[in-house]
Every structure is written in structure tokens, then in C-alpha cells.
């Protein structure tokens, strides 16, 4: 999933390590993108269930 525009496609991952969004052209390390996606999911969960 692209951290910039949210586009999700297997074409965004040309290799295991690289991320290249085919929709907006964003490039990043795949691990960085994964971390951003995990962080975003955690924030969504926190907002849905405020302590
Ligand atoms: Zn994108």
C-alpha cells in the first residue's frame, strides 16, 4: 500500500526490498512503507477506541 496515495498493487513491489508506487511514483524502502502502514493501522485503532 502506498503511504502517499493509498494505492495498493503488487506492481508497487518490483522487488522484495523496493517499493515503487505505479500510481503516484512514490519510491521508498519496502520496510519503511510497511512500518508506515503498521503505524497508520495503530493510529486508526487508537482513534476508534479512545482510552
Ligand atoms: Zn502512490
Q: What is the 3-state secondary structure (H, E, C) of the chain?
A: CCCCCCCCCHHHCCCCCEEECCCCCCEEEHHHHHHHHHHHHHHHHHHHCCC
Q: What is the distance in A from the centroid of ligand 1 to the CA of 13? A: 12
Q: What is the pLDDT of residue 37?
A: 93
Q: What is the distance in A from the centroid of ligand 1 to the CA of 35? A: 16
pLDDT at 48 over 90: no
pLDDT band for position 51 (cuts 50, 70, 90): low
Q: What is the distance in A from the centroid of ligand 1 to the CA of 25? A: 6
Q: What is the distance in A from the centroid of ligand 1 to the CA of 49? A: 28
Q: What is the pLDDT of residues 8-38, one digit of tens each?
A: 999 999 999 999 999 999 999 999 999 999 9
Q: What is the pLDDT of residue 14?
A: 93
Q: What is the distance in A from the centroid of ligand 1 to the CA of 51? A: 32
Amino acid at each position: 500500500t502506498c503511504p502517499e496515495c493509498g494505492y495498493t498493487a503488487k506492481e508497487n513491489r518490483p522487488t522484495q526490498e523496493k517499493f515503487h508506487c505505479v500510481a503516484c511514483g512514490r519510491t521508498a524502502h519496502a520496510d519503511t512503507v510497511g512500518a508506515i502502514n503498521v503505524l497508520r493501522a495503530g493510529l486508526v485503532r487508537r482513534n476508534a477506541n479512545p482510552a
